[in-house]
């Protein structure tokens, strides 16, 4: 996981706990874990991003999209993006 992705994930967890509750955060973590397990088994299954070649996107929830790259040896989570933001902000993270 990149530093950017870790920071965004930490901020998202903080938001979910402070603005919602621990149960909502737990639900999100379960969805995230399930998505990561799917990536581990079939990294090519999700669509390639139109923004950069070799970058894949996975919709975790309607508000959160995960972007990742993979090689034969590892998966790198590049960033998480809040889809309610201006899409141009995504370019900064990639």
- The lowest-confidence range among 27-31, 39-43, 82-86 is 82-86
* 3-state class (DSSP) for residue 80: strand
The tokens describing 36, both together, are 């990561």
Integer Cα distance of 25 and 36 in angstroms = 16
- Share the mean pLDDT of the chain: 93
Shortest CA distance to 66 belongs to which of 41, 25, 38, 26?
38
Asked if the model's pLDDT at residue 93 lies above 80, the reply is no
pTM of the model: 0.89
User: CA 43, 78, 54: angle at the middle one, nearest 5?
Assistant: 50
Question: What is residue 41's predicted lDDT score, i.e. its pLDDT?
Answer: 95
What is residue 78's three-state secondary structure? strand
Looking at 10-14, 18-22, 74-78, 85-89, which range is the least confident one?
85-89
């Amino acid at each position: 996981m990149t530093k950017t992705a870790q920071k965004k994930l930490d901020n998202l967890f903080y938001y979910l706990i402070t603005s919602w509750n621990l149960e909502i955060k737990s639900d999100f973590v379960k969805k995230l874990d399930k998505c990561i397990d799917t990536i581990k088994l079939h990294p090519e299954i999700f669509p390639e991003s139109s923004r950069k070649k070799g970058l894949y996107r996975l919709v975790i929830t309607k508000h959160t999209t995960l972007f990742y790259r993979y090689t034969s040896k590892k998966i790198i989570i590049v960033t998480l993006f809040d889809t309610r933001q201006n899409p141009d902000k995504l370019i900064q993270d990639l």
